[in-house]
């Protein structure tokens, strides 16, 4: 990160009054004085409450497989790490996690995995989606759990098949909207353009589309981060997940020069707020990576304008094998402990839990009501 200096120019709170343009986004991301940061936090939370209400929506997170065909330079489950024990949950294990999610009254779940497009895996996911929709339908949730997928770049045909099976949201992070930075983070077999194409085809198929970036990447500037937010807006994104970059010791970026811990946490929180100002009605997650760096990082995320959390429901036996970065929290808590911990954290943040609801973003709901 090379935060370019804005000199000693004091922060102008007037930037909080309107939808921020690029310069204003940059000014928000440069704020460091505690009173300025507090003003940004309070304005972001106020806007969230106004535009989206005080509900925090849960997505039970099932990490279904850590097998991965990609070799991203930052990721702890990249294919060339041979010390990772590779696992794939079976159908019954996945369904059991989904039922736990429904019993916990989480209205939605996220099915996440390493990137793999083998037939056997796609068939497994399609079958699971169909069963989850059928077997979690109840009076409280007549259409069953809302299902978000986070399985990386797949073919249009696979995206379509999984949508038709019943998934309705897809998360695919762009990691950085700066193509040069994207290229530094990935082998040449992965291209920025094809990831953008995937985001476009997900939208065309009918998914609610989520993306996001890592914050504090080597070589990333505050200008890059402002451009990331403009990228989210230009893609008409429905939901956003972003978090601090945490170098993993067994990856090529293990020794990358990154901003100090406190700076990465603050930048991540300011990114949540700045994104909320620019895209007021999207869902923004308070991500686990934030909590990995700060024990109360997720609560802070809520205060800076986030409204989604992803409690772990991955079986404890494999959670340790799915560590994209070191310091992943909640490795030892069971799902019930995770739930009570999150309930307490949300109450502390003065917010309510949106139980038994899909919790689609207002942005997505509006688009559905007013098709262009
Ligand atoms: N630090 C922070 N986030 C990471 N991710 C992967 N590796 C790391 C890391 N070392 C994030 C990426 C990916 C998501 C699933 O996890 O943004 O898209």
Q: What whole-number distance in Å separates Cα of residue 17 and Cα of residue 349? A: 24
Q: What is the mean pLDDT of the chain?
A: 94
Query: In the chain, pLDDT over 70 holds for what percent of residues?
Result: 97
How many angstroms separate the alpha carbon of residue 349 from the centre of ligand 1?
Answer: 26
Neighbours of 7 (CB within 10 A): 6
Residue 216 beta carbon below 6 angstroms from any ligand 1 atom: no
Q: Are strands 146-150 and 55-65 parallel, antiparallel or unpaired?
A: unpaired
pLDDT of 371 higher than 70: no
**Closest listed residue to residue 147, CA positions, set 178, 170, 181:** 170
Q: 324: Cβ below 6 Å to ligand 1?
A: yes
Residues paired with 244 in a beta bridge: 215
Average pLDDT of the segment spanning 160-177: 98
Spatial CB neighbours of 24, under 8 Å, sequence gap ≥ 6: 15, 18
Residue nearest to ligand 1 atom 7, measured at CA: 75
- Predicted structure pTM score: 0.96
Q: Looking at residue 318, what is its pLDDT?
A: 94
173 lines ligand 1 (CB under 6 A): yes
Answer yes or no: is pLDDT of 3 > 70.
Answer: no
**Res. 5 pLDDT band, cuts 50 70 90:** very low
Which is more confident, 64 or 3? 64
136-200-271 Cα angle (round to 5):
80
Taking only the tens place, the pLDDT of each residue in 215-274 is 999 999 999 999 999 999 999 999 999 999 999 999 999 999 999 999 999 999 999 999
Q: What is the pLDDT of residues 322-358, one digit of tens each?
A: 999 998 888 877 777 777 888 888 988 899 999 999 9
pLDDT digits (tens, 9 = 90+) for 73-108: 999 999 999 999 999 999 999 999 999 999 999 999
């Amino acid at each position: 990160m090379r935060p370019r200096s804005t000199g000693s120019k004091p922060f102008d709170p007037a930037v909080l009054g309107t939808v921020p343009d690029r310069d204003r986004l940059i000014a928000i991301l440069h704020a460091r004085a505690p009173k300025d940061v507090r003003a940004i936090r309070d304005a972001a939370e106020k806007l969230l409450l106004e535009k989206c209400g005080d509900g925090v929506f849960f997505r039970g997170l099932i990490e279904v497989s850590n097998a991965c065909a990609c070799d991203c330079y930052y990721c702890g489950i990249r294919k060339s790490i041979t010390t990772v024990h590779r696992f794939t949950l079976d159908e019954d294990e996945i369904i059991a996690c989904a039922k736990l999610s429904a019993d916990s009254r989480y209205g939605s779940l996220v099915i996440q995995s390493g990137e793999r497009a083998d037939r056997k895996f796609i068939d497994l996911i399609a079958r699971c989606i169909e069963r989850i929709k059928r077997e979690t339908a109840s009076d409280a949730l007549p259409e069953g759990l809302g299902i978000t997928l986070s399985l990386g770049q797949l073919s249009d045909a696979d995206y379509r098949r999984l949508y038709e099976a019943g998934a309705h949201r897809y998360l695919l992070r762009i990691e950085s909207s700066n193509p040069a930075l994207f290229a530094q983070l990935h082998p040449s077999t992965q291209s920025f353009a094809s990831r953008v194409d995937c985001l476009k085809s997900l939208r065309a198929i009918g998914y609610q589309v989520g993306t996001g970036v890592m914050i504090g990447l080597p070589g990333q500037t505050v200008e890059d981060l402002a451009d990331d937010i403009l990228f989210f807006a230009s893609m008409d994104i429905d939901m956003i997940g972003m978090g601090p970059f945490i170098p993993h010791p067994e990856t090529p970026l293990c020794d990358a020069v990154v901003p100090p811990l406190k700076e990465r946490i603050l930048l991540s929180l300011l990114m949540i707020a700045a994104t909320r100002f620019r895209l007021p009605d999207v869902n923004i997650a308070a991500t686990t990576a934030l909590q990995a760096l700060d024990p109360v990082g997720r609560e802070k995320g809520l205060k800076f304008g986030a409204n989604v959390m992803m409690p772990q429901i991955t079986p404890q036996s494999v959670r340790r094998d799915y560590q994209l970065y070191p310091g992943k929290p909640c490795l030892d808590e069971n799902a019930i402990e995770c739930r009570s911990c999150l309930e307490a954290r949300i109450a502390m943040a003065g917010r309510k839990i949106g139980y038994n609801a899909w919790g689609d973003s207002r942005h997505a709901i509006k688009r559905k009501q007013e098709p262009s």
